[in-house]
Amino acid sequence: MLNQATVFATIAVHDIEKAKEFYGGTLGLNQVEENPGGVTYRSGEGKLFVYAAPTAGTNQATSASWNVDDIATAVSELKGKGITFEHYDMPGGTLEGDIHTMGSMRAAWFKDPDGNILNISST
């Protein structure tokens, strides 16, 4: 059953208006719906839903990931929009600038205004 269903990310935020500025404005995601429960964005074939909750930003793991063709270009474009990237101690990995390399995977992490951890990667 679930293997036939589309999955999408859900992210808790404190302030829907700030979230709309970040996800729609800074990240450039396309808003497809807004209702009293939150805001839905389309990104490629997937969707991302942000909703207000008092627990926003408490997750210490990655909340959403985007697979990109050219991570160096994506990092550069996001930095140009004011995004600051996180650096982690990744056993077996290396860090070049803001991009972590682990085997054939290259990844970079950043946070939304509530501290939710987001990721871009390429293989």
What pLDDT was estimated at residue 105?
Answer: 94
Residues 14-73: tens digit of each pLDDT? 999 999 999 999 999 999 999 999 999 999 989 999 999 999 989 899 999 999 999 999
Residues 94 and 41 placed together within one structural domain of the fold = no
Number of domains making up the chain? 2
- Condensed to tens digits (0 to 9), the pLDDT of residues 81-108 reads 999 999 999 888 999 999 999 999 999 9
Asked if residue 1 has pLDDT above 80, the reply is no
> What is the Cα–Cα distance from 107 to 75, expressed in whole angstroms?
10
The DSSP secondary-structure symbol of 113 reads: T
111 and 82 housed in the same domain: yes
Nearest Cα neighbor of 93 from 114, 109, 113 is 109
Query: pLDDT at residue 2 above 90?
Result: no
79 and 26, same structural domain? Answer: no
pLDDT tier, 3 (very low <50, low <70, confident <90, very high otherwise): confident
Q: Are residues 67 and 43 in the same domain?
A: no
